[in-house]
Amino acid sequence: MAKFWQISFQIHMNWMADANQRLEFLAAQAASAKESIALVSPEMPLRANLSVLDNIALIPQYRANLTYDKAADLAWDLLAAAGYQDSFAKRDPDLSHAERFVAKLLRAAIGAPPIILIDRPAMLLPDTHYPPFLRALLKNLVNYLNDCRIIDYQWNKPLYDVEFAQAELIQPH
């Protein structure tokens, strides 16, 4: 089965002073994009009536006209790489914050967009020390992601350690 993903992964941190600057940044990213951008955000919910696997598989079914079986195989590959196979059958109301975040990220990643924007990870992961969680998850998915841009507020900058933004620590295999 052909893979959709290109392997040239980078992480960019984007520090925002306030909500207005964040909204302006998001609008500028969308306006300047020559290709599609995938957004992982509190405002982008999962489909509550679908399982995690089906939420992820839905994207290649509609965008690449794949059969359900092929799309589900791609979704399963991503779930396995992330280490979240156990959540495949759960629906949104039954997910932990971490499981919901992973489902949203994998739903964004499965279409192999050139850029994935992760908007305010603290809101998506309120019960998790999210910088180490993000670093570990992104390392697991390094072979499936291209350019990942994390948008967070400046006051959260101390939560991230220096290693997080060093691209040389997260290289494709």
Ranges of each domain in the chain: 10-160
pLDDT of residue 20: 94
pLDDT of residue 112: 86
Dihedral of the alpha carbons of 165, 35, 108, 150, in degrees to the nearest 10:
20
- pLDDT tens-digit map of 14-49: 899 999 999 999 998 888 876 788 999 999 999 999
Q: Which residues of the chain have pLDDT under 50?
A: 1-7, 167-173
Size of the chain in residues: 173
Burial of 34 by CB count in 10 Å (0-12 exposed, 13-18 middle, 19+ buried)?
Answer: exposed
- List the helix and strand counts (H, then E) for the chain: 6, 4
The closest of 112, 141, 152 to 26, measured between CA atoms, is 152
pLDDT of residue 108: 95
Burial of 127 by CB count in 10 Å (0-12 exposed, 13-18 middle, 19+ buried)?
Answer: exposed
pLDDT of residue 151: 93
Q: Which CATH architecture has domain 10-160?
A: 3-Layer(aba) Sandwich (3.40)
